[in-house]
Amino acid sequence: MKIISNEKLIKRNGIISQVTSLSSLLILGSGMYISFSKPDYFTLSVAALLAGFILSQVGISLGNRFGRSPRPDELLDAGLKGLKNTYTIYHYSTPAQNLLVGPAGIWLLLPFHQHGDISYDGKKWKLKGGGFAQSYMRIFGQGNISRPDLDAGVQKDKLIKALKKTMAEEEIPNINAAIIFTSNSANVLAENAPIPTMHIKQLKSFIRKEVKNTQITKAEINAVNEALRA
């Protein structure tokens, strides 16, 4: 499998996540100090605490994707290791964050690192369990799955718009999406989800099975790859 990654963006965002996280700690600490030592500056302390909290959320979000190793893109590469060179995976180098192109078709891959039991209740994905760390992350809005199907739709629209610059609309193959959980402690129970939802360990076998279900041609694969690299 060929891997094309935007290393500059990954490195830059990794640095930003570190700077943002450290800055948030300093600002939060300042806000706490002001609130206890200078009660008359209550408004300033609240502003500092709010700014620090917002920065911390940005830092956590960026850190989860770019600041820790293995990163989500690295986990996807490891999960798909062994696919033939007829496949190309793009990380942060197309309008879709993680995109697989090959004989199984075009796949938007949406990785999540949540722990515990993951299910779909007919409207949204639900999390249960996962221990203290997962519960702590949910309090601050970092452990929720929200609506990845909507995110996939946004990425799909952006990708089609980009492909239309060099391809006619009728030449663009069907674009699929899959939700991938990468944590070893994730237990995926979402067979009824509107988008294929699975553990990273199931991804490679799923892609290989999809070859039988797709009608994409070699010419279409080459055309998409050329358009993306352009």
**Domains contained in the chain, number:** 2
In this structure, are 21 and 93 located in the same domain?
A: no
- Report the pLDDT value the prediction gives residue 130, as an integer from 0 to 100: 55
Residue 142: what pLDDT?
47
Model confidence at 135, pLDDT cuts 50, 70, 90, reads: low
Residue 87 shares a structural domain with residue 56:
no
Task: Please indicate, yes or no, whether residues 17 and 89 belong to a single structural domain of this protein.
Answer: no
Torsion of CA 9, 150, 210, 96, to 10 degrees: -20
The string of DSSP codes covering 128-176 is: E--HHHHHHHHHTTSS----HHHHHHHHHHHHHHHHTTTS-GGGSPPEE
pLDDT tens string 67-96: 888 999 999 999 999 999 999 999 999 999
CA angle 83, 88, 91 (to 5 degrees): 115
Q: State the greatest distance between any 2 C-alpha atoms of the chain, in Å, as a whole number.
A: 70
**Residue 199 shares a structural domain with residue 128:** yes
Domain that holds residue 97: 72-229
- In this structure, are 107 and 34 located in the same domain? no
What pLDDT does residue 131 have?
55
- 45: Cβ contacts below 8 Å, ≥ 6 apart: 31, 32, 34, 35, 38
∠ CA 112-116-65 to the nearest 5 degrees?
20
